[in-house]
Amino acid sequence: MAVDLQILKRVAYFAGFTPDELGEAARPFFEQSFKRGEIIALEDELADNLYIVASGVVKLFKTSADGKEQIMYLAHVGESISDVPVIDGLPNPASAQAMIPVDLYGINNVDMLALLDKYPKAKQNALKILADRVRHLSALVEDLSFKHVIGRVAAILLKYAGGDGAGSKARLTQQDMAAMAGTAREVVGRSLKMLEADGAISMNRHRIVISNKKALENMIETAV
């Protein structure tokens, strides 16, 4: 089966390629099909090939220790998967599964690296692809941690407000709150800013003043 150049043309790695260059670059690619639900790549395993989605949709996901699946990305026609392990030679950061029947164009990692060496444009394009990934993942991290953490931060504030009853006030650093909420310090910082913007608390130097207890309580209920 021949690789469809119309699809390769849409691939970000080949942006700016002339038709001749594209024809030449297409040579090492082979076609591979996967049934719905089939695993294309497994997290923590080494990747032999980089794939371009020629038809269908591929789900990229991670599985937590307790078996929960977190979708990282859905790759559509023209998008590539397994770029990161092919480029750095380390295991797959995520698993890939065919969400519907999928046709892929694969290229062996040695051939892919040779292609990047041969065409400086492709290397340039690769930087852009990886930068886009980082942006996407950063946004994901924010969503994942943030929406739920804000409720936990609200709970911590309510719990520690007013001290221990014996007259001494609790003093918590953002690091302390992060450890309690199971998140990063940066996320706590942003949660506090958001709670302040919502008018639930006010920050007065080293003092966090709870101005709207009810709002914090609602935050706990809606965020979990």
Partner 1 sequence: MAEMPYIDLDKCDSCALCIPVCRCGALVLVNNVITLIETEKCGWCCECEEICPLSAITCAFEIVFADE
Q: Which two tokens stand for residue 172?
A: 């918590």
Calpha distance 108→36 (Å, rounded): 23
Q: Which of 144, 208, 201, 202 is nearest to 176 (CA)?
A: 208
User: Using the rule CB under 8 A, is 169 a contact of partner 1?
Assistant: yes
Residue from 4, 21, 24, 176 touching partner 1 (CB under 8 A): that is 176
- Site membership for partner 1, residue 205 (CB under 8 A): yes
Residue with tokens 């706590």, as numbered in its chain: 188
Q: Residue 51, class by beta-carbon neighbours within 10 Å (0-12 exposed, 13-18 middle, 19+ buried)?
A: buried
> Is position 154 an interface residue for partner 1 (rule: CB under 8 A)?
no
Query: Taking the complex as a whole, how short is the minimal distance between the CB of residue 147 and partner 1, in angstroms?
Result: 22
- Least separation in angstroms between residue 189's CB and partner 1 is 7
Alpha-carbon gap, residue 45 to 24, rounded angstroms: 30
Cβ proximity to partner 1: between 48 and 176 the closer is 176
Shorter beta-carbon distance to partner 1: residue 70 or 175: 175
- The count of other CB atoms within 10 Å of the CB of residue 18 is 8
Q: How far is the CB of 12 from partner 1 (least distance, A)?
A: 35
**184 binds partner 1, rule: CB under 8 A:** no
Name which position in 74, 139, 144, 203 contacts partner 1 (CB under 8 A): 203
Residue type, 77: V
**Cβ atoms of 208 and 157 closer than 8 Å:** yes
- 170 is an interface residue for partner 1 by CB under 8 A: yes
Q: Which stretch binds partner 1 (CB under 8 A): 31-39, 100-108, 117-125, 207-215?
A: 207-215
Helix (H) or strand (E) holding 81: strand 80-81
CA nearest neighbour of 42 among 29, 70, 58, 61: 61
CB of 30 to partner 1, least distance (A): 49
**Cβ at position 213, least distance to partner 1 in Å:** 7
Contacts with partner 1 by CB under 8 A lie at: 157, 160-162, 169-176, 185, 189, 202-203, 205-211, 213
